[in-house]
Structure 1
Amino acid sequence: MGLKRTIIAIKWFPSHVINLLTLRLRKINCGKRLSTHGTLFVRGTGTITIGENVSITSCRETNPIGGDVKTILFAKNNATITIGDNTGISNSALVAVDSIAIGNNVLIGGNCKIYDNDFHSLDFNERMGTVDLGVKHAPVVIKDGAFIGAHTIVLKGVTIGERSIVGAGSVVARSIPDYEIWAGNPAKFIKKVE
């Protein structure tokens, strides 16, 4: 093993061990062969389930496309985040107050944001008060085989169809059918997947 590979292995090992301990302490269900690179940011009292053979990057050393962003898994209160088998996530944020369900064989590019809620009320008084009662939320579903390009934002209530592709830098505010390519802000239909 060359010196460069040795240094990367030494840097990788402690964060992977810390991630496994964090996931175990938080009682997060993980399948076999979870691979992590960089330290994950895991918060909330909701339920997080990670499938088998999942790869999660949370550092710039192994995937510079996400920049300095760490992967965030935040499931608030009774929310759920489910990540299917053979899925890869790079330096992305998943924030759920309801649910985010990611299927099998999904790729989520660097610095993507997946939010199932608006975070703040549209009502000024609620937004500036201590209680935010008017925050809208709806489940996000990403079906099997979907590919989400880097720097994409997926908003509440969206379903991304089976084997569909979302172009880099898109803002997805409405659902995408199976086997379609969408891109832009807001994301629009480009063509069918061949």
Structure 2
Amino acid sequence: MKKIKHIFKFLKNTLITNYIYLSKDIVLGRKVFFKQMPYILKHKNAIIEIGDNTIINSSNYGYHINMFSRCKLYADRENALIKIGENCRIHGTCIHAYNKIEIGRNCLIAANTQIIDGNGHNLCMDEPEKRLISSDIGKEIIIGKNVWIGANTIILGGSVVGEGSIIMAGSVVKGIVKPKCIYGGNPAKLIKKYD
């Protein structure tokens, strides 16, 4: 019975993947695989690209921690770009680009991570009531190759995460993360550097 359930889930996920290949206005590499249906939202002139052999996982089945929601890929402005490299594993994560979010190859992104390059609203410190009607333009996020991002992390606009780095679970990243380092906390700070 367990084997039949596993086969059914695989077939269902294969149908979802084929549906996205055929019907969505996104650029998919070879052997991209979707576990359960993600939310995919984009402006007609925005671009979402996903590299070869990447898995976008929106299913709690077989995943080691609880994810609170499906993956969301949201490129909501004209010319916004979400570019995900090859051989990535992305679980229950929101990637929301006003401007540009680029994720290098071989990245691991754990569940409930929020990667968003804009604040949603401008600060409007002189006239705070204008926050309700303002909209931020976003500052690009670049995540280098071979990066591991722990669960429940937030990556904010203007951040650059260096190649081979690890971001500890529950961290809030704003700014530069040096390559081959471990960062953690809120705000995320250098924990350990590797040569």
Instruction: Please say whether Structure 1 and Structure 2 have the same fold, judged by a TM-score greater than 0.5.
Output: yes
Letter in 2 for 1:151: N
1:53 aligns to what?
53
2:167 aligns to what?
166
Helix, strand or coil for the counterpart of 1:157?
A: coil
1:82 aligns to what?
83
1:126 aligns to what?
130
- For residues 5 and 156 of structure 1, the distance between their equivalents in structure 2, rounded to whole angstroms, comes to 44
Letter in 2 for 1:142: I
1:72 aligns to what?
72
What CA deviation, in whole Å up to 9, does each residue of 1:128-176 have, x standing for no partner? Answer: 23xx24x251000000111101111000010100001100110001210
**Is residue 17–residue 32 contact of structure 2 (8 Å, CA) maintained in 1?**
no
Q: Judging changes above 3 Å, is the alpha-carbon distance between structure 1 residues 22 and 36 closer, same or farther for their aligned structure 2 residues?
A: closer
Helix, strand or coil for the counterpart of 2:102?
A: strand
- For residues 22 and 36 of structure 1, the distance between their equivalents in structure 2, rounded to whole angstroms, comes to 9
Moved over 4 A (4+): none
Helix, strand or coil for the counterpart of 2:177?
A: coil
Letter in 2 for 1:191: K
- For residues 93 and 162 of structure 2, the distance between their equivalents in structure 1, rounded to whole angstroms, comes to 20
Letter in 1 for 2:53: N
- After TM superposition, give the deviation of residue 69 of structure 1 in Å: 1.1
State which drifts further: 13-22 or 159-168.
13-22
C-alpha RMSD of matched pairs (Å): 1.6
What CA deviation, in whole Å up to 9, does each residue of 1:90-138 have, x standing for no partner? Answer: 1100000101000011111111110000012222332223xx24x2510
Q: Judging changes above 3 Å, is the alpha-carbon distance between structure 1 residues 113 and 16 closer, same or farther for their aligned structure 2 residues?
A: farther
- After TM superposition, give the deviation of residue 63 of structure 1 in Å: 1.7
Q: Judging changes above 3 Å, is the alpha-carbon distance between structure 1 residues 110 and 76 closer, same or farther for their aligned structure 2 residues?
A: same
Q: Judging changes above 3 Å, is the alpha-carbon distance between structure 1 residues 122 and 5 closer, same or farther for their aligned structure 2 residues?
A: farther
**Is residue 17–residue 33 contact of structure 2 (8 Å, CA) maintained in 1?**
no
Q: Of 2, 5, 12, which aligns to 2:3? A: 5
**Is residue 33–residue 54 contact of structure 1 (8 Å, CA) maintained in 2?**
yes
- After TM superposition, give the deviation of residue 66 of structure 1 in Å: 4.2
- For residues 128 and 138 of structure 1, the distance between their equivalents in structure 2, rounded to whole angstroms, comes to 20
Letter in 2 for 1:137: G
Q: Which stretches in structure 1 are left out of the alignment for 5+ residues? A: none
Q: Judging changes above 3 Å, is the alpha-carbon distance between structure 1 residues 161 and 150 closer, same or farther for their aligned structure 2 residues?
A: same
What CA deviation, in whole Å up to 9, does each residue of 1:73-101 have, x standing for no partner? Answer: 00113200000011110110000010100
2:178 aligns to what?
177
TM-score calculated relative to the size of structure 2: 0.90
- After TM superposition, give the deviation of residue 19 of structure 1 in Å: 3.9
Letter in 1 for 2:80: A
